[in-house]
Chain A
């Protein structure tokens, strides 16, 4: 298919359709409302269901319901809306249902602002809701990757029967870039008869499926949490994605950065190179599972004097970076939030100060 110029928000909507998603429930919030606008028009054309819930709390449980019935389902929201959905996320993870959540992050805490931010890293990777669970978290750096990750997200959600979250930000949602849509994934999940409450009529087995998150028997609850833990361990083994930039040089500094922020860093790295300063970047594409070993390895290069995590937050991913560098290099942080994205010139100034 030829390239088209699309807003990130609309491209995410189209990607979901091409992945075979027939159910989308949402509540509008800036800066992601174009996803809902787009799908309210497109999904009925595809025989799907678009529904605007009365609140994000309701939407979270609509997602749970559809996911429990084995349907491909997605919602999109922005930071405060994701907070309201977090209870349902915990339930969906506990009940082991596949679903796709997109967070087009805006500044927080509280109502915050409507401009781009990366302030929800902790929320996405360390919990958000209660209990021992993880989301599989993908972080695109542009519209094309947002499309690819949205499509991947459904496959991953079904492989692990676990909610997958895509972490974009206001800029990725609002920006237009050329996109090419990969071939669709319009296949049905193969194993849903084993667990989903999708009706008995067509099944050979007469086993009744039960989707639940309440385990009053301590052994049963422990077993369920062990099953979740095993899935997270498998994700760590099989699903880590990251990109290394300028890492084949004798770089003096290693940047860790993701999403929109990583693009600014990429430009700064090119500009620094012209000044004869080599800097590399490790860009996690999965925030959970985090590229632990890759960060450890990249920080250990002899030429590397320091690691710096650059984020549109007050310092969140840097805690994972510190954990993975294991103290063998100093780990610094630079971040801005509130909506003004740091410029490449600012990043260059920060890097030069490290040397």
Chain B
């Protein structure tokens, strides 16, 4: 069993970090994981995306054309990747920045106003953590407590912002449950 999650948005939204934290939690759970960034020439503020692969066996090709799930943090990312998602997957839509939903009818759409929730938690910069926890709550890929612990560890060097990110995490989980 292998699951692939594409995280996409614009540079600065914390996409790579969200993906890394998910990979970390899955690794701690004993899965094989790989975190594959798209790297290439990009301008500041350009698109950023990366893929996390979680598997119960050794991961072969790290090149994923059709991910199981998509976390889209801005509109160009949704439009660029929505048709790549495998049927039955989740398309996560950050409705704070994406005024539309996907035309796909064979996937589950999870629509969460990530930026608005993050502002409520204290800072828009925590939007990536809201997205991460909301997506994790919906997809059941990793244990939420373990993931929360990984988020906490990530910010160990900046203890001041841990409460903010913990709040953001909890609000994200709640948003997925009420969606």
Contact = CB atoms under 8 A, between A and B. Distances in A.
Interface of A: 3, 5, 30-31, 114-115, 170-171, 174-178, 260, 263-264, 266-268, 270, 339, 341, 343-345
A79 to B, nearest CB: 15
Q: Pick from A171, A174, A177, A263 the residue with the most CB of B within 10 Å.
A: A177
A5 B33 contact: yes
Contact of B24 (A5, A175, A345): A5
Contacts of B23: 5, 176
Nearest to B38: A174
Contact of B60 (A3, A114, A267): A267
Interface string B15-44: 000001001100100001111110111000
Tell me which of A114, A170, A171, A260 has the highest count of chain B C-beta atoms within 10 A of its own C-beta. Answer: A171
A171 B60 contact: no
A161 B113 CA distance: 61
A114 B33 contact: no
B40 A263 contact: no
Interface stretch (B61-69, B127-135, B141-149, B171-179): B61-69
Given A5-B24, A175-B34, A177-B34, A343 B61 contact: yes
Q: Which 6 A-B pairs have the closest CB atoms?
A: A267-B60, A176-B35, A267-B61, A264-B61, A266-B60, A341-B63
A177 B35 contact: yes
Interface in B61-117: 61-63, 65
Given A114-B40, A174-B37, A178-B32, 15 more contacts: A5-B24, A5-B35, A171-B36, A174-B39, A175-B36, A176-B23, A177-B35, A260-B62, A263-B60, A264-B60, A264-B61, A341-B63, A343-B63, A343-B65, A345-B65
A337 to B, nearest CB: 14
A115 B40 contact: yes
B48 to A, nearest CB: 13
Contacts of B60: 263-264, 266-267, 270, 344
A170 to B, nearest CB: 7
B37 A114 contact: no
Contacts of B59: 177, 263
Contacts of A175: 34-37, 62
Nearest to B30: A3
A178 B20 CA distance: 11
A66 B89 CA distance: 54
Nearest to B36: A175
Contacts of A267: 60-61
